Amino acid sequence: MPIRKEVFIKNYIKALNNGDAAVFAGAGLSAPSGCVNWKQLLREIAEELQLDIEKESDLVAIAQYYYNKNGSNRTRLNNIIKEAFQTGKNPNVNHNILARLPVPTYWTTNYDKLIEKSLENNGKICDVKTCCANLTTTLKGRNVVVYKMHGDVDHPEEAVLIRDDYESYSQEKRPFINALSGDLMTKTFLFIGFSFTDPNFSYICAHLRTHLKRNMREHYCFLKDIFRDDCEDESEFEYEKRKLSYFIDDLKRFNIKTVLIQEYSEITEILRSIKRIYNSRTVYISGAAAEYEPDGKDAYEKFISKLSSRLICEGYKIVSGYGLGVGSAVISGALTEIYYDQKMSLTDQLILRPFPQGEDAKKLWETYRRDMISYSGISIFLLGNKEENGTIVMSNGMRSEYEISKEQGNFLIPIGRTGYMSKELWEDLLREKQDDHTFDIYRHDIESLGDSKKALDEIVELVIGIVKKVK
């Protein structure tokens, strides 16, 4: 019996919050980026062996046969790996969503470098383990570890490919077996794009089950359901459905629970849901001011400080770009609450990313904004003006952050009461949502955020109320 998607999402988010979530990636994760699967990788050499790759299920044997035929020389096999995986492939949407989640541990049987590339693109310091010697070193400042248990495209001669490699794995790669065994006991894995046919993985799971019996940690995987249109006739459909059911039940022996999907695109939507729900506890504050009408600078600074403090008090994390005339108040309010409650950690509750300065640095601001906003699920907009040539103008940077937030699926809270660009965005949002009935539970409160007669303290409580409704 598969597990419901809602249950999986809830449990995996819990693992993310606890810091013990992990990912195990197979070839299916890289397929949308144009990377070949094993059948495609070995098709040419199968033809040379006069074998039909479509009729073969033991693909490791195909590689071994070719190795044997060539006098135990694997140069051609090494070149095949290089040619297949050293091309200009880019991470796909699933790579990028995963990279933005706080997953500290990745395991993969893939030779490509897409996982580490996506992590680095998202500002992660990635410690990659491709051989046993790597396991004894630690990259300074790392926040994610990628274990490539079958090797890497840069060293194809050491890649696990032929049957000889698999048969000697338990001896020559024992440290990898020990490391993976430890992670399977202490972390909650999501298996994505993995077929569970790898003999090394099966060996590790069987070994753990022998020792742990019915006390194995819970893990999850994605499997595609079987439909009538996938099969030639009714009998094949019934056969494949039956086989899938048995396979799902068999995975339960290792406490791996299946999330059954109808289309592979569903994986992306599930991952997006995980990111959205996880990030709903993180708030991005967008604001800048050179002018503070009509309430005055002191009043607005107290308002911003109180809002930040209340967000931290309610258990939310704040991300801020340290906007002109606003950033100090955000920090002040956040720090007041963090230091008041000594159980809180500064690094866990507040992410500060001051914008780099200088004409050349401004070219990076769009990328910088996207990176900051990607950590959050809610975006708050307040004030929004700047001085240009002695004149107060609207902040185009805030407009840009509004559009990025909308694009990334953040919940938008422009505080129209604070005027300037935030008022324009408030008007835009209400206009965009006028026929959206799913917005009705927020509509009255959002409308009230533009009421100039409301005291700023009232606005704080309105914002907190809206934030707490967001799921």
Residues taking part in catalysis: 150
> Chain centroid to CA 150: how far?
23
- 168 is written with which tokens? 């000697």
The residues, any chain, with a CB within 8 Å of residue 406's CB and separated by 6 or more, are 412
- Helix, strand and coil content of the chain, in percent to the nearest 5, comes to 55, 15, 30
Contact status, residue 127 vs residue 44, Cβ threshold 8 Å: no
Contact status, residue 305 vs residue 131, Cβ threshold 8 Å: no
| Full DSSP string of 275-315 | HHHHHTTEEEEEEE-S--TTT-HHHHHHHHHHHHHHHHHTT
Q: What are the start-end ranges of the H helices in 314-416?
A: 327-340, 346-349, 365-374, 396-407
Residue 381 host element (H or E): strand 378-383
Rounded to the nearest 10 degrees, the angle between the axes of helix 199-212 and helix 163-172 is: 40
- 21 is written with which tokens? 């979530």
